[in-house]
Structure 1
Amino acid sequence: MTINHDLSIRYEKLPVFIYNDQIEASAYLVDNILNLLSLKESQGKKLVLGLSSRPAMIPVYELFAHAYENGRSFKNIVVFGINEYYPLSRNEIQSHYRFLREYLFDVVDIPASQIYFLDGGIPRSQVARHCADFEKKIASYGGIDVMITSGMGSNEPGSPYSSRTRLITLNTNTRISAASEFFGVDFVPNYSLTMGVQTILESKTIYYLAWGESESKAIKDLVEGKVDESHPSSFLQNHTQTEVIIDHAAAADLTRIATPWLTGPCNWNETLTRKAVFWLCRHLDKPILKLTARDYNDNGMSDLITDRGPFSKINIDTFNSLQHTITGWPGGKPNADDTTRPERALPYPKRVIVFSPHPDDDVISMGGTVARLSQQGHILHLAYHTSGNIAVFDHEVTRFLDFLQEISPVYGLDQQKTRAIFEQAGKDLSQKKPGEPDTQAIRKVKALIRRGEAKSACQYLGIKQENVHFLEMPFYETGGIKKNPLSEQDIDIICNLLEDIKPHQVFAAGDLSDPHGTHRICYTAILKAMEKLRQRPWMADCRLWLYRGAWQEWDVADVDMAVPLSPEEVVIKRNAIFRHQSQKDPAMFPGNDPREFWKRAEERNHNTAVLYDKLGMAEYQAIEMFRLYREGMKI
């Protein structure tokens, strides 16, 4: 455990390094590893690494590959994999070994004889001996020099501190979280081979990586919580050479970020003032205008009154700033004073593009606002970045193709041909292993299923069919979970659409924690496209609004626009989501939350309305929230 004398980090029991993004953080880590490798080589030794197969590791492995391309050899590195599903062949696409092989072993020159991995394909009778031999092999190299991970292997809650490499039963939550890798929780193995807690903690140095807002609570528990067997990662607090490396989003719940006034003096700007006042309201369960000077003083915020007071002025200013985020006119209200409104009145009607990473993110996250924009006469376009085809169950294909053959005689179609199509699809699907890419034809059918659902939802919301755009960005079209790198071709597709429409408003997904990272890639593509077009005259009058919905919600202190929904509008939003039938009962990739997306969205939107009510605003059924993008903003 680290004892911090810097008061701003006094709640933190581990050293934490916060970077702007995962690329910058990974570069720091890779520099450290390569420097240590050089030191080991100068001593005639090898560098022994313990490596994880979690997605957080990808930027690290990509930088290793880049270093190799620039002449850095990795021949003096020894690798031990942390864990592996059991039973599972290492050739399966979900195998942790295969993950590392594709991202690292196949692209750098680590000798195969220096790669050691737990084997998910061995007979059960040999597992105990295999795990014991794995421990002996680690010891033969003098232990692991550096462990790079974003978890504690497969050590489940309750794993003892003294545990060694072993077979462990995966709990239900772990299997649900892994469902996206296996295209359904039913295909997730029940067991895993994993290094034990003590095995991991015997590493000389440990780097713990985390990116994105979905990791923020886990990071707070890891860094500021108690050491507890129910949270195996907390044992890292007992390791003297652990560094936690995270981006700003993953740091959001740390005390020094979430409530810095509890750690020492603050620079009280308008944003931090709002954040502090809203926190105080929730902490005391009081509306803004009922806060007193004593409330501020008793909760570490006396400096705020000194700097920006008196307290009554702080209350009124904060109340007004929150009230001014609320609007029933997300495209701006024509012929109205827009001085305190979040969106300008003119021009009217506005040209609007709503970008949606998958064909349903739009209605899940901002379906009520889409309905408002349509009803209020704006020139509304919907643009779907990807086909979303990997999120369609195989039985949906069977159902649609069976319908095709059944309807053939009604419209005089070639019944023999439609029957052959149905039978071939059945054969292709029956021969496919869980998670294996579909044939090109099946992928196209799945894409068309999702396209049809999106068109149906748009029609229901009154959006013209010619204003619905399916971009089918190439980075996504691999047929599997692993995607291609974002390319200029992807960015140019967005540039072309923007140039064609010249929008006054762009709405884009700002929740970046979907299971496969597609939202983050799409968001990056939009920013790169708008950067390429920034000198265009129409860009001076274009605003980028960011929404969330299926995975996270904005902190109310960060919100620039809040669109209230009536009970009737909540039903409209729900019905639009229901048009995406292939994503119901349940969705293919639910993440850690097994509920259907419409239930998550309704609860999130309702909770936002309740929060606004508790802060002293009018009472609404639901609210959708948005942030206005500002240059250089990190989310």
Structure 2
Amino acid sequence: MAPPLATLPATAGARLPVSIYADSEEASASVAAQIADLIRERAAEGQPCVLGLATGSSPTRVYEELVRLHREDGLSFQNVVSFNLDEYYPMAPGSLQSYVRFMREYLFDHIDIRPENVHIPDGTVPKEQINEYCRRYEEQIKEAGGIDLQLLGIGRTGHIGFNEPGSGPASRTRLITLDHVTRTDAASDFYGEENVPRRALTMGVGTILEARKIVLMAWGEGKAAVVKRMVEGEVTDSVPATYLQSHPDVQVVLDEAAGADLTPRKTPWLQGLPCDWQDAALLRKAVTWLARTVSKPILKLTEEDYNENGLSDLLAESGPAYDINIRVFNELQHTITGWPGGKPNADDTYRPERAAPFPKRVLIFSPHPDDDVISMGGTLLRLVDQGHEVHVAYQTSGNIAVFDDEAIRFAEFVADYDHAFRLTSGEPADNIYHRVADFLKNKQPGQVDSDEVQQIKGLIRRGEAKSACRLAGLPEGNAHFQDLPFYETGRVRKKPLGDEDIRLTMELLNRIQPHQIYAAGDLSDPHGTHRVCLAAIFQSIQQLQASGTPWLDDCWVWLYRGAWQEWDIDQIEMAVPLSPQELTRKRRAIFKHQSQKDRPLFPGADQREFWQRSEARNRTTAKLYDELGLPEYEGIEAFVRWEF
């Protein structure tokens, strides 16, 4: 088990102890090991182990690891008593979105816990009985001896459990009205915000604080801001998670992305922590931070600016200011290139990409059928225009993100061309149309689509992706639709990454043997699909590398970020500028994805359309370069290189 990259004790700056791991897999394995040790310790004492359990995306890998420990290492859960934090209200236990179902699918159905020891708030309790039910839930926790270890995640509002802003430290298990932000975040699970329950049953903050140990987990750059408020901010009911600062035994477990905004990671010099100024990445982070803090271009920074903002040690070790400014300015300047595939017959000493070979074989991985054009559409267009052999691999069908009325419209279209379905099914298309229309007419909120409807929705997105590829000038055979099996559940909740996903990815890589790979490197996708797709690529490359695959010796991997987040200015290693005309061409490519236009089914927290988010992100990056004293562009697409 890998140790954490950093352990930050509770100090005046960090009010909670923090462990930061390289990724969520390592962090989850560590948390699962703690739980397993506690279960065994309590069993050896002849005592029950009382666990407070959470749902959502944060603990899923912990549960998967506990299941593995049960199957492979003989970890028994016979002495475990569990109490879940919360449940939507109203909510039938068999519903797709119920936490009863969640816990069974991820944990309880795969271990030997006694059914009578499992406690999950009941979303079917009659309203007039709720107060008594909640009082009894509290009593059951006390009768079990209190919670030994409580697992928590954290919501964007700073909620723990469903304790929304305004919840106090004395609050107990109760029925609560959900915040609009929380309901928006849950919209993808319910196929639309209008289907999300407005209320939930939750343990109170006071109930949580009575646990003997608390472990809070957070993954991805999307949680970085609220993690910073929880760990470093004042205690306030506007961020209920800050009440954890009063608990004597709390551990905050993060991946690198979720911990990126914490002061010791982002600006260690402000806390007087030792800094290795020979680290080029840290140096660039400090100088770009200083320039933005004092609102000056890099080349105008003075020794007074450094001294007055906690960077006097940097001056003493690497100064004078002029030399530092020139170094960082040149590094940023060298990230900018109009030739993302490398400029032929040019000196590439200070360019982010190699000049040779030219042209290159380029493989762009797109988790959903529109991530390629949303995230790096301008770069894609430029690679094609500059003569490279560009392929796009659409890793999933994206079928769950299509509205029902779009499926009916396309089924109706097919019905008018009866022969199209006769060729594949031998059945009149009219029959299929009526069957699809009847299903969707009677479909319940959150119900999984039939196989037929999933197929139609997948074909809609496939057709849109092909249209965008045609606009970009890709040859017809250069769009590859992988339909990775982990995704094809018809539900927002996906299967774990499997051997078949890796096999399909390795097969495509070996077939194309690219000189350049582009992949979505963001972890803030609220559905987690981007994270799984990235893992499929990384694991495939690592397996190919272990087998001595020769073409990998001449392959570089570039990571882009999508509709949810952008790379920080100090992280960017290749910046591709876009002219106004190129930004317009990129927008036209995004518009080809009509099923995601106007109002996407799963917009996430940002209510703008994807093309609006994309352009705003590109313009913001360009503005940052301009403010730092670099050339002014209409937009910039940013990339970070992954070295394997």
Q: TM-score normalised to the size of structure 1? A: 0.96
Specify the code of the residue in structure 1 equivalent to 2:392.
L
Match of 2:190 in 1: 182
The amino acid that maps onto 1:599 is Q
Q: Of 466, 471, 477, which aligns to 1:466?
A: 477
Q: Which amino acid aligns with 2:563?
A: A
From the superposition, tell whether residues 183 and 515 of structure 1 become closer, same or farther in structure 2 (CA, over 3 Å). same
**Overall identity of the aligned pairs, in %:** 52
Task: Give the whole-Å Cα distance in 1 for the aligned partners of 2:419 and 2:34.
Answer: 68
Alignment of 1:237-316 (within 5 A): 237-263=245-271, 264-268=273-277, 269-316=279-326
- Confirm or deny that 1:78 pairs with 2:81: yes
CA distance in 2, matches of 1:616, 1:148: 46
Aligned-pair CA distance for 1:235: 0.7
Counterpart amino acid of 1:453?
E
Distance in 1, matches of 2:9 and 2:487, equals 45
After superposition, the CA RMSD in angstroms is 2.0
Distance 1:6 1:466, change over 3 A: closer
The CA deviation at 1:411 is 13
Once the two structures are superposed, residues 429-472 of structure 1 have per-residue CA deviations (whole angstroms, 9 ceiling, x without a partner) of 23433333221111111110000000000001111111111111
- With over 3 angstroms needed to count, the CA separation of the structure-2 counterparts of 1:40 and 1:539, relative to structure 1, is closer
Can you list the C-alpha shifts for 1:70-105, whole angstroms capped at 9, x where unaligned? 322101111111000011101101011211111111
Q: Tell me the equivalent position of 2:4.
A: none
* Counterpart position of 1:44: 46
Determine if contact 2:414/2:421 at 8 Å carries over to the other structure.
no
Separation of aligned partners in 1, 2:34 and 2:347: 56
Distance 1:345 1:514 in 2: 33
Q: Among 175, 187, 199, which residue is 1:191 paired with?
A: 199
Q: How has the CA–CA distance of structure 1 residues 7 and 439 changed in structure 2, closer, same or farther, with 3 Å as cutoff? A: closer
Match of 1:22 among 13, 16, 24: 24
Tell me the equivalent position of 1:397: 407
Question: What residue identity is the alignment partner of 1:257?
Answer: R
Q: How far is 1:408 from its partner?
A: 5.3
* Residues 410, 8 of structure 1: alpha-carbon distance in 2 compared, 3 angstrom cutoff: closer
What is aligned with 2:70? 68
Call closer, same or farther: CA 1:411–1:501 in 2, change over 3 Å.
closer
Match of 1:436 in 2: 447
> How is 1:164-563 mapped onto 2 (pairs within 5 angstroms)?
164-263=172-271, 264-268=273-277, 269-406=279-416, 417-534=428-545, 535-563=548-576
Q: Structure 2-normalised TM-score? A: 0.94
Conservation of the 8 A alpha-carbon contact between 2:378 and 2:585: yes
SS across alignment from 2:428: helix
The answer (yes or no) to whether the contact 1:265–1:303 under 8 Å persists in 2 is no
Partner of 1:564: 577
Gaps of 5+ in 2: 1-6, 155-159
Please tell me whether residue 153 in structure 1 is matched to residue 154 in structure 2: no
Instruction: Give distance in 2, aligned partners of 1:490 and 1:80.
Output: 35
For residues 232-256 of structure 1, what are the alpha-carbon distances to aligned partners after superposition, in whole Å with 9 as ceiling and x for unaligned? 1111111111111111111100000
For 1:308 and 1:47, locate their aligned partners in 2 and report how far apart those are by CA, in whole Å: 54
Asked if the contact 2:9/2:18 (under 8 Å) is kept, the reply is no
Counterpart of 1:135 (choices 135, 138, 160) is 138
Q: CA deviation at 1:624?
A: 0.3
Return the letter of the residue paired with 1:602.
E
Give distance in 2, aligned partners of 1:409 and 1:42: 69
Deviations, residues 188-225 of structure 1 (Å, cap 9, x unaligned): 00110111111111111111011111111111111001
Q: Of 633, 637, 640, which residue of structure 2 is paired with 1:620?
A: 633
**Structure 1: where are the runs of 5+ without partners?**
none
Specify whether residues 311 and 488 from structure 1 end up closer, same or farther in structure 2 by C-alpha distance, changes over 3 A only. Answer: same
1:137 corresponds to which letter in structure 2? Q
Question: Aligned residue pairs: how many?
Answer: 627
Asked if 1:100 corresponds to 2:103, the answer is yes
C-alpha separation in 2, matches of 1:7 and 1:363 = 43
- Cα distance, 1:19–1:7 mapped onto 2, change above 3 Å: closer
- Shift in Å at residue 142 of structure 1? 2.5
The residue type equivalent to 2:21 in the other structure is Y
Q: What is the distance in 2 between the residues matched to 1:549 and 1:478?
A: 23
Q: Which amino acid aligns with 2:53?
A: L
Tell me by how many angstroms 1:619 deviates: 0.9
Shift of 1:270: 1.1
Q: How does 1:566-581 map to 2 (within 5 A)?
A: 566-581=579-594
User: CA–CA distance in 2 between the matches of 1:351 and 1:391?
Assistant: 31
Is the contact between residue 184 and residue 588 of structure 1 (CA under 8 Å) also seen in structure 2?
A: yes
Change in 2 beyond 3 A, CA 1:408/1:68: closer
Q: SS where residue 549 of structure 1 aligns?
A: coil
**Residue 3 (structure 2) aligns with:** none
Q: What does residue 600 of structure 1 align with?
A: 613
Note closer, same or farther for the CA distance 1:44–1:260 as it changes in structure 2 (3 Å cut). Answer: same
* CA–CA distance in structure 1, aligned partners of residues 222 and 585 of structure 2: 29
Q: Is the 8 A contact 2:32 2:65 kept in 1?
A: yes
| Correspondence for 2:157 | none
- The structure-2 alpha-carbon separation of the partners of 1:373 and 1:106, relative to structure 1 and needing over 3 Å to count, comes to same
Q: Deviations over 1:248-270 (max 9, x none)?
A: 11110000000111122210111
Distance 1:336 1:482, change over 3 A: same
> Residue by residue, what CA displacement relative to the aligned partner does 1:327-367 show, whole Å, maximum 9, x if unpaired?
11111111222221111112111111111011000001000
| Corresponding residue SS for 2:335 | coil
Give 1:353's aligned amino acid. L
Aligned partner of residue 79 in structure 1, secondary structure: strand
Distance change >3 Å, CA 412–CA 508, structure 1 → 2: closer
C-alpha deviation, 1:522, in angstroms: 1.2
Distance 1:28 1:416 in 2: 54
Distance in 2 between residues matched to 1:598 and 1:133, nearest whole Å? 50
The answer as to whether partners of 1:14 and 1:223 remain within 8 angstroms in 2 is yes
Contact 2:17 2:251 survives alignment (8 Å) = yes
| 2:362 partner SS | strand
- Aligned partners of 1:488 and 1:126: how far apart in 2? 48
Distance 1:439-1:411 versus aligned 2 partners, 3 A rule: closer
Secondary structure of 1:328's aligned partner: coil
Return the alpha-carbon distance in structure 1 between the equivalents of residues 584 and 308 of structure 2.
Answer: 43
